[in-house]
Structure 1
Amino acid sequence: MNSKWQISKVGLIDFWYYDEEELDFIDGRMLLRGANGSGKSVTMQSFIPLLLDGNMRPERLDPFGSRARKMENYLLEEGDEREERTGYLYMELKRLESEEYLTLGIGLRARKNKKLESWYFCITDGRRIGKDVFLYKTMENKITCSKGELKNRIGEGGRVMDTQGEYALCVNRLLFGFETQEEYKELLELLIQLRTPKLSKDFKPSVINEILSSSLQTLSEDDLRPMSEAIENMDNLKTNLDTLKESIRGAKQIEKVYDQYNRIVLYDKALMFSDVSKRFENCEKDGCQFKENLQANREKLREEKLRYEELKREEEILKEEKISLDKSDAARLKEQETRLMEELLEKQEEENNKKRQETEKREREIDAEERIKQEEEKADSIWEEIEGYMEEMENEIEEIPFDEFSFMKGEILNEKEADYNFSSHNQLLNTYTQKVAHGRDALLEENTQREKYDGYLKELDICREEQNQAEKELSQYENLLAETKAELTEQIYIWEKENQELHFRTETMQNISRKIEAYEMGSDYLEIRNLGKTEFYETERSFSEKSFLMEQALKEKQTFLKEKQKELEEWENQKEPEPEQSDAVRKNRELLKEKGIPFLQFYKTIDFSSGLGEEQMNHLEEALLSMGVLDALIIPKEYRAQVYALDKGVCDRYIFSDVSHVRQNIQEVLEVDNGENDILLYQNIANILSSVGYGNDGEERGNAWIDANGNYKLGILEGTVTKEYRAHFIGVRARERFRKEKTESLRQIYMQLKAEAESLEEQCREIKERMKILRKEWEAFPGDKDLKVAAKELADREFLLELKNKRLWNQQELVEKER
């Protein structure tokens, strides 16, 4: 169901005192305030009802109903120096539940001493005046468009109409949907009556009530017929109900008596059943007795059969004896006696027949005499009837020229016994009868033709009714198609508004509206749907690109995360941290272990003095690290030759115990870390520490030294430190603290990377989910089922109307031909 249209705004361009003005509505309402004569009524009558039907008659423009105001006066007033002026009035409407817009408007061109020109337009594709469509040529001068220019700007997204009737029909179809224009005109007339100025003292609530009451449509017989039929049906139902109630009461009485009757019948049947049961038992007993008797009778039958055989044999013997007796004279005499008796009986029978025939003849004679008497009486009756017929004929033919009748009557009645020749009369009667028959046939033919013509007229009326009905149905289905198009357009606007991911550009929505408005039977709905494919593919491609980039970033993040996880596990599992070493150094130290050459890492054998400040510790360790001494290997001097003879591909830094001492050395700030109390180890480390100078006195520091600021010298090489380094290798506690700090730092980095990876995974899932939503939203694009059905129904009605028109034309030709 379409949501309602609401007025969003109205606008005036180059009209009356307005150059360009838009009046906004809120929730379909607007309040104009101003003193009397400030132009409130003129402004409103310029829109309503003018923009609803385009009727610009003077009495429609004045709320008081006078003809003083004319539309030309609002464009070119008296004394205006302009020769012509073109202005526009328009009204923008918006659906309540979507961003669908509709614009109605009128263009006016006034020229001095010439008739006012007007044209009408509607914009149905959602474009809005002042944003998408402009009613003036250039933004600088704002010269209004002509009719042709407006038609080009609106294009297929609306219509430009020439006549007021066409415009009123269009507005009715787009906004109201009345079946007939007469009903729409009644609505506008009601609005005009309700628009009567409130300054009138006679305009009371009773007047409004009278106006609204008179606006109610008179009920026709067709409207009242269902009600009267319903009332009649109700009366019939009440009568039937009363009858049924009486019938029920009578039926209950009958039921009571019938129930008593059934009880008695049941009692009788029970008694009968009891008697029959007893009889059945007796029959069973009798049956048993009969079986016994049957068996006895069978035995008797067998005995009788034996006796029958004996008698049969005895009969054969007697027959033989009879044959022998037949040959004697006594038998022959007996046979003659029998023959004579038979002849005597035949003679007696013949005598009886003769007597019976005589009696029958006497009876027939009596019957003949009786019939003669009856025939004479019948002849007298017939002559009486003939005389009656003669009198009737004489009365009937008084106005018929039949002079021979009087002669015929005299001859027949005077000579009743003589035969009369009717041949001349029969010939005259036949001639007269033929003429009457021809006249009757002519009258029948005339009546037949009249009935045939009346049938053609009735058929013509039926054809006209069918054509009117077909036109009415066509109008209804045109409105239905328009409503279906509007409903589909609104559905698409609502669908697009409610979408989370898939949104169309304004131009696309306008193109869709235009395509829907132009849809008809046979159109391909995919063309409408495909208008949004560009936005769908662009959004889908954007999501695909984002998803690809996210997945790549996720893979890189997961790789980095695994590296950090491995590094964290290494730091958690290793005992002490070590300075960064190259592959060649690590390989070299493995090789030393294999060859059994003992070594100690320098930083593991020393610790800072207790009184040394943190800054000095940092400078000192950084200097030792820069010099390459911090992670150098301390090896006994006797292994020097073996160390120097190691294979290619390995390297390292070594400190041998045979070193020279300096007076100011780093033993002032470093101590030997001898947890195992190894005196020899302690002496070697102490010797090494004593070989590195410390302090600011260059002569007392030797060729390898470090000062308090971290500056150092190693042979001919001298260097400085960053002073941003933090000591963490010298001393067991420092190394343990550094390991924990490093582990915690790596753990935080790992957790951060893990959170980032999870965030990327979530973003990837969100993008994929959004892509699913996007595809579902695209698949949920409103379909064309109702639109296709409405278009097909309209095409069927158009075809039906064409058939009805052809039939009407053929029937009209037939009526004209038979007239």
Structure 2
Amino acid sequence: NMDQTKQQLEQLKRDQQSLKKLCRQYDRYNQLVLAEKAEGLIKTDRDLRKFQKQREELTTELIDQRIQHENFNERMKDLKQEKLSLEEETEALKKHAVFDAENERIQLEVFIEKLKKQTTQKKNILKQKKDREYDLREKINLEEKNTANLEVDMTNTLLDLSREGEEAKFPGHQTAAKDFEEQYKSEFYFDLWKRECQDYLKKAENILKVLQEESRARDRYNETSQELGEAQKELDRRRYEEKKWYGLFEEEREKLLTSIHKWLKGSEELILTEEEIQNLIRSFSNLHEDYTFEKACAPMFQANQRCLNTLETENVRLKHLIEEKQDEKEKLEREIQEWKGKKDPEPERHLDTQSARYALEKAGISYLPFFAAVEFRTEVALEVRERLESAITRMGFLDALIVPEKYTKRLVKHDRVLKPNPHILAHTLGDYLYPTLADDHKGVTATDIDNILRSIIVGEVKDKLTVPTVDKDGRYSISMLSGHAPREEQAVFIGKEARLRFRKQTIARLTEELVGVIRELDALAIKENLIKTRREKLEEEYNAFPGDCDSREAFTNYQELKLQVKTQTEEVERVNQKLKNDLNKLQEIKARLRNLTIGMPLVAKEEVYEAALNYMKEYSGYLQNLEIAYQKYISNLRLLAQSRESLSDVEEDVDELKGELNSLDDQLVLKERQLSEVFKKLQELGAEEIRQEINRVETRLNAIPEEMVDVTKKQRDAYNAIKSMEDSVNERELDIKVAIELFKLWKKVFSEEMNLNLIKDKSLLQLEKGEEALKYAGRFLQKIGYLMQSTDRDKVSDNLNQSFHQEHGVLVEYRPTQDTICELKVVPEEFAWDAEDNTLQLKLKQLIQTSRRVQLILEYSGKRVSPYYVLEEMDKDIELQQTILSEKDRELYEDIIVHSVGRIIRSRINRADKWVTQIDGLMAERDTSNGLTFSLKWKPRTAEREEELDTMELVEILRRDSRLLGEKDIERVTRHFRSQIERAKETMVEKGYGETLHQVIKEMLDYRRWFSFTLYYRKAGETKRELTNHVFFTFSGGEKAMAMYIPLFSAAYSRYLEARDDAPYIISLDEAFAGVDEKNIRDMFDLVETLGFNYIINSQSLWGDYDTVPALSINELVRPQNAPFVTVIRYYWNGKVRRILRPQDEMSKVMEEDDDAKGNTNVVILAEQS
């Protein structure tokens, strides 16, 4: 059905969504793994190329270094020879007179330069001293002005202090100000003045705090007094509520006990013992006070469990019997099918024997079982046939094989072969049996069979040990064995007719047994359904046990209020104690204030002390300013004295420097004159050329040692570089060897990953023609390498594991598993010698870790396959189910338009239309006292969507003969219901659960939803109008009642018209005709009687003794003074007089005595009176 197909489709889509989520993570994981392996391959190739390039560069540089080293050796030899030559030339030049004169010149030039430096330094110092002298004079003038300004500031500050001190009534100001004016020019200390100021300020602050504390204490006392009044008022209110809720709780508990008594009487399955009933009533009598609801229900729970266990035990016993009978039924059905499928019945054979015969057929060896190769001769009696077959069976000949003579000596495993030894002119089985061969049988001949038959003697022989014999009475002999065969019903296997008869008899017997088992199963099913019904009844009675909502709520409220009363009582006591504490605190503060204000010149008011504190704070600030100004004044005086002393020292230094400069000028003139004389002497000796040669030789001799040291260093550096480069070249050779092996391993790992074919986007796996793995790895990494920048394998693996575990519950039927594969196990032996190389170990470790990967496997159609394969198959299944669902939709449309559903809807709409017409006619006949009448219309609804039909159009088409509908009409109706069904599917998706597609379509096809009822009213002299809620609430009480009762009675009567002639028209009313006046009540009874209703109604004040009522039984229920019982007083109304009935009167006799009441149906009114 559509629901089942829809559910299968939804399940497939859930599986598909779950698998898609898993595949997304798996595809991301596969891409990242392949990208990692591609990156490893590319990096290894890059390292190999880098090492090869480094080896070439190092080799070239090594050759250059060796050439440089040879050049440095040659340079060292040249420097040593040049040094020896220059030293010999120097010795020769030192012996010339010019050399001494040149030394003298050099000494004079050095001394003169020294004198010039000293002169320059002294001049600079003299300039600094003169600048310092000018600065000190300017500083002294400025400090004298600042000192005068500070004296003015201190005078002004003293005036401010006098003003603020007078406002604050500070008694210590006058004395302190006078002392300052007398002592400030020498030295004055502010400590006493500040201490007196702070003491006065602190005392005023303390008094102000106490004044504020007194104000707050007074406010707290007033607030607490008010709080006590409110708390006491709340306590009284809660005590009243507590008492009210306890009374309500007792009332609800009594109602609950009454409901439990009623439930106990009505229970048929859930039966409690007397002890359980007593315990239940006792517990509920003390409900919530001593027992919780669950604990009070314990006897009921116990009884329910006992009854449930009894039913469950019986149900388990029945299920066990049903399962046994079902197994027996299935076994018999299988046996019947097996017998029906057999061409001929065959004796039972061992499995090894069956295999052995199959092997003979495969080897091309013909054979026939004895029973299938022979047939009884027609003259052999049935009894003899049974005896012979039974004896042959016991001898083991019945299913033994007859083979061509050439195969008789061949050994056969797990089977028996008859070897011929025919007896001529002897009484043998050949006289009772003859060979029978199938038309298509080849190999075994009639002669082979006849030889076997004539090898078995019938009767007695002398040599029983060598000749098998059988007798017509069932006796047989074979070798050392002889015996008598037990009797069977008939011959079964020998003879085609015997086998056919046996097959039919067996099938008939098994069929009869099957019918018996089916009857037993039906009987057990009836018992099982009875148990199920009893269980449902038990559950219904269990669920019908009265609930405890009202009493629990009342008790909870009572408990809460009881706790609130206790809490509020404690609150009143707490507030009362707080009030006492606040009063004591206020009195204590007042006493403390009196002690603090003794001797203070201020009035003990909060605002006065606040003002005094402000003045004193200003006073304290001015005092601090005075002290700061005074400190600056004293500091300026000290700086002025220091500056004057420094000026005197600087003047003395200037005079001393001027004298030293005059002495240096005299020495410089003398030395310059001596230098002039030396130059004249050198000029006379021609020293310029000699000097230049000496300078050249000395300069070169000074430079050669440094150059030799530099060459020696370069020699050493070149030698070390050669050694280092030789080592580097060797290392690069080793690196290249290792890189080649690593490249091979990475290539193997990458190729294995590609061969797994786990990339969903197959375009990423396509190799170009002749493309190698390395080139493909680079191309793949360009396309997908961005993954490695945004994530890593650990994160992707975690996401895959998380997705696997999240979706495992949905995909559990596919048995998803995770396997670790492709892990590199073997490391090449070339790496063994370098096992301590940490870098190599890290690379190998990375290679092994990268090679290892997770593979997801799912089970589908009994095979272990990848998730991508399952997803593809799942897409095909979803497409198939959607196709099936579309076919179901088409069938549904045809069924609605043409077949049974359309016919049912047409008949229901026609019947409903007639029913509305009947109701409208009945209401139109009612004429109330104020002329108010009612009518009813059944209006078709308009279409909700453009592709849908209005109800009027749809009904008009459905009412036609389906055989006369045109293609256009069928298409319009199909489009209408397709839209409706699509809306039903959308509704189902929005709800998500709770309804099947069948239920939603059922609601859509409910023709009652295609129409809407509209009720109209008309008053005397007015036109007919629609009865809306607004109009209804403008009616009087009687009109409202009639607006409800007249349509209701008319609808009920219309429905009863479809009942049988002898069916009662029963209605019942609670609080009948409330709010209707006497005239209209009389009309209502007339309507009820006219329509022929049998009614049971109750009312607080209604008796029903109207002239429109021909006969009535009245029962008055009396409960005097809230008594725990009700008294029934019975009356009878005969249409004219109401009279009371005695207890012994019977209504039937009373009505027989009343001629007017004959033929009327008894009607009862329950009139409640208290």
The TM-score, its normalising length taken from structure 1, stands at 0.35
**Which has the higher relative contact order, 1 or 2, with Cα contacts under 8 A spaced 6 or more apart?**
2
The TM-score, its normalising length taken from structure 2, stands at 0.25
Task: Write 1 or 2 for the structure with the bigger share of helix.
Answer: 2
